[in-house]
Structure 1
Amino acid sequence: MIKPMLALSLAAISGLALADGVGFALVGHPSWQEAQSVMQNGRAIWMLELENDSFLLNKDDKFYTAGDHLQKTYVSQTDLLSVEYGWRVGQDLYTASDVKLLPSQLSPNDHPYAGWLYGGVFNNNVDVTGKSWRWGVDVGCFGQCAGGARSQAQLHRFINQPLPQGWSTQYHNELGVVLSGEASPGRLLPFSGVDITPKVHARFGNIFTDFGAEVEVRFGRLNAMPYQSANYGFIRADVKEVGYNATIEGAYFSDDTHKVHAKKQGGEVEVGYLWQGSEYAFSASIFRRANEMKEMSNATGNQNIVRLQFIYPM
């Protein structure tokens, strides 16, 4: 089911045809000519995203423990349409429930240690009604080659936290490829200063394969298009069906000995705030992710994570 739904999400890009002075034309799939035009004539924007459970200052370091993501986007906008092309790099780290435990002390049902280091490209299209289409592809390294042990040790030395002890048990190296797609039919406007946007999204690859749906509610001084001035709070709820999660189940093409099982249903709830000026933007939120492992109780497996985003122009 998941693979056809991903194709459907990517195919949603075909719903719009619009042209302007720099030659945008979305007529079924992105084009190299359009990408070149946006990169040459559009606005360049950097985004740094940091996700970490340690930002809660409770020294609760477990499961999805850190995600560091850097993205460069080229954006061209009219009054009706925003078109983006860009690239991104990221490193995501996953650990056991207590990083102080030695390998011999780890339970066979604890969350495995895993790292995912990747880079990718993406295209995002949003019109003034909130209708949106997004696709992306990421290629990277899963396992020791992701550098998770060194990254987490350096961070823990910097913030004076106990050094992680279990990275020698992490999963084997594997080349990873993940395709992703996302689509929204547009936003609802029930009240002044409030909007509601539903979305469907999917990923397919040997690191992550899943399909899900989410709803985001924004309230405050809203913007109709990305990167326009805004000042608002938001609540987002997401549910998903999981086909494969290598950070729990191990590299898809390797025979890893420490294998546990990913739950087939998952989700998260996020609450946050965003300020967008004429050039710079900042967002802070906290999201609660549901337990992702069959072998772990929901009370133990649930997790709170802080997400910070900084957006600034070139």
Structure 2
Amino acid sequence: MRFFLLIYLLCAGLSAFSQDTLQSGSFLQVDWENDAFQIRQRNITDRYYSNGIRLSHLSNYWRKWPTRHTLLRLRPKDNQVYPFLYSFTAGQEIYTPRNVKIARRPLYPNDRPYAGYLYASWGLTTTDPVGARRLSSSLTLGMIGPVSGAADVQEWLHGVLGQYVPVGWGAQMKNDPMISYAVQYEGRAIPRFSSAFDVIGHVEGTIGTLMNSAGMGGTLRIGLFNDYFQNPTGFYRAGGTAERRFQCYAFVRVGFRTVLDNALLQGGWVNGAKNYYALPAVELQHFYGQTDVGGVIATRQAQLTFTQHLRTAEFRGALPDQWGHISLLVRVGRGSQY
């Protein structure tokens, strides 16, 4: 499968890193999103966002790549040194209509098309511990369509689990190249009056052939945690002040987004017009909201996060979409910088 080949190449690249790279501070992160992880609905369906998986390597090794010239970072004030961390991510996303048991039927205007997305992304995160600011930017290259391998992955997974196999992938979005650039700025919304309570606001924007959108929102954290802005990962750092080796907290994130276009619903800029199942722009909901609720448990070496995502309808006639998200971040380098 194409996706697993990409994962293999990423892992092979990681094994080739020098010991110096690992000692400078390095992390591996695995993210798995699936509607089967939701806890609100008893009957699990594959509608809309069905599955997503990402494998990331966070290390300043990626600073050596020419993609660094495209990424934004905070400019230090008064000769301060801001912690920063580069990353590389390989991922795949799978989207299906409400009913995956019908091979051929007119999806428009009551449903979304089948779509798969395979991508690689380079990112940079910079934090300002004194000013309580964080800037993240990323450049993503990918493909939608059969080349993404989404049909192969979903059909194989359903076969392994003994579930019905989706039969409509022959009508998925056509192959199209994707490029997108995303920026997110975060800052403390109100001064911290308690070490167990924090409110963080954010604004974000994405441009490119995959999606053009802008959004804003905020996050409430309650529990035992390190300062969100102390470093790009939030991990315990030896020698830091008032930092916890063990963290355990809950969070609620509320966001609102306005969307101009979305290739995963409308098709790509090159071949989108050739797909009968693509939704026209007039069917999109150009404004929607999302609520994320979850919890985090972290030690010095690992962090486990579980999140429930709930998003309002993305197009006319659509139902709200809900899925679960499991994320594991592990320290693989012996450095303590982050």
Whether the TM-score (by the shorter chain) exceeds 0.5 is yes
Look up the match of 1:43.
25
Shift of 1:221: 0.4
User: In terms of mean alpha carbon deviation, does 143-152 or 54-63 score higher?
Assistant: 54-63
Cα distance change of structure 1 residues 209 and 105 upon mapping to structure 2, 3 Å threshold? closer
Matched, 1:289 2:291: no
What SS does the aligned partner of 2:188 have? coil
Q: Which residue of 2 aligns with 1:302?
A: 320
Alpha-carbon RMSD? 2.1
Match of 1:185, SS state, is strand
5+ long unaligned stretches in structure 2: 1-19, 62-79, 237-244, 333-338
CA drift of 1:215 comes to 0.3
Quick one: structure 1 residues 48 and 40, their matched pair in 2 at CA, closer, same or farther if it must change by over 3 Å?
Answer: closer
1:108: Cα distance to partner? Answer: 4.4
After TM superposition, list the pairs within 5 Å mapping 1:129-148 onto structure 2: 129=130, 130-148=132-150
User: Deviation per CA, 1:12-64, whole angstroms, max 9, x where unpaired?
Assistant: xxxxxxxxxxxxxxxxxxxxxxxxxx957631100000000022363221101
**1:206 matches 2:206:** no
SS at match of 1:149: helix
Equivalences, count: 271
- When normalised by structure 1's length, the TM-score is 0.81
Instruction: Give the distance between the partners of 2:164 and 2:22, measured in 1 at CA.
Output: 47
Specify the alignment match of 2:75 in structure 1: none
SS in 2 for 1:151: helix
Structure 1: 5+ residue runs without aligned partners? 1-37
1:241 aligns with 2:244: no
Q: Is 1:259 aligned to 2:262, yes or no?
A: no
Pick the aligned partner of 2:53 from 64, 68, 88: 68
Task: Summarize deviations over 1:117-155 as a string: whole Å, max 9, x none.
Answer: 000100001222531001100101111111110011111
- Asked if 2 retains the 8 angstrom alpha-carbon contact of 1:74 and 1:84, the reply is yes
Distance 1:278 1:164, change over 3 A: same
Whose strand fraction is larger, Structure 1's or Structure 2's? 1
CA distance in 2, matches of 1:131, 1:187: 10
Change in Cα spacing, 1:243 to 1:75, as seen in structure 2 (3 Å) is same
- Name the structure, 1 or 2, with higher relative contact order (CA <8 Å, separation 6+): 2
Among the aligned pairs, what percent are the same residue?
22
Question: In the aligned structure 1, how far is the partner of 2:328 from the partner of 2:250?
Answer: 16
Residues in 2 aligned to 1:142 and 1:199: alpha-carbon distance in whole angstroms: 29
Would you say the 8 A contact 1:220–1:232 is kept in 2? yes
State the AA in 2 paired with 1:290: T
Q: Could you tell me the TM-score, scaled by structure 2's length? A: 0.75
Letter in 1 for 2:173: Y
Structure 1 45/187 Cα, relative in aligned 2: closer, same or farther at 3 Å?
Answer: farther
Question: What secondary structure is seen at the aligned counterpart in 2 of 1:218?
Answer: strand
Query: Residue 87 of structure 1 aligns with which residue?
Result: 88
Amino acid at match of 1:307: H
